[in-house]
Amino acid sequence: MDEGLRVPGHDWLYAVGDVNHRALLTHQGKYQARIAGAAIAARAAAGTAAPDGAAAAEPWGAYAATADTRALPQAVFTDPEAAAVGLTLAEAERAGYRARAVDHDLGAVSGAGLYADGYRGRARMVVDLDREVLLGATFVGAGAAELVHAATIAVAGEVPIARLWHAVPAFPTISEVWLRLLEAYRDQGD
């Protein structure tokens, strides 16, 4: 399967969802369907066998399912919930990144007490120290699945840490954990 979700040996056949074994999650299957649909529509409009070669091969391009491997959000709806996107620290190091993880207690953010009495949870972000972008994030606690989308945007967009400082979370919400994580990253130094 190429990044454009075409089945090898069949230029006309695309595979999305569980059948391609790339990312066995409903939301990723929907994402893959959007990518394959765009490629099929481009082929039909151009009357060619494939969309423009450069666009088809370009990571994060209109015809490449890059998020399957670089920004795959996952959520486990248990009590407490667990949600993650991107790489763990161990995965980042195995992939050759010079990376650091920073952690914060979700129960210590301003909005936690409003969310639930005795709220408990943890948050972690993994940063590429050379590019200073987020490689991954993990959240565990009630409502953790609601926090992972912001991390998915930061990972997929390779948003610089310096820019994340300007993404102001509403007060008082659990999303304030982003400020605490950024402060921990800054305070730990390199």
Domain residues of the chain, as ranges? 17-69, 71-188
**14-23, 40-49, 68-77, 141-150, range with greatest mean pLDDT:** 141-150
- With a threshold of 0.85, does the pTM exceed it? no
Q: Residues 137-158: pLDDT tens digits?
A: 999 999 999 999 999 999 999 9
Report which residue type is found at 11.
D
The domain defined by 71-188 carries CATH number 3.30.390.30: yes
CA angle 47, 53, 55 (to 5 degrees): 100
Buried b (16+ CB within 10 A) or exposed e, 44-53: eeeeeebbee
Lookup: tokens for 128? 């590429």
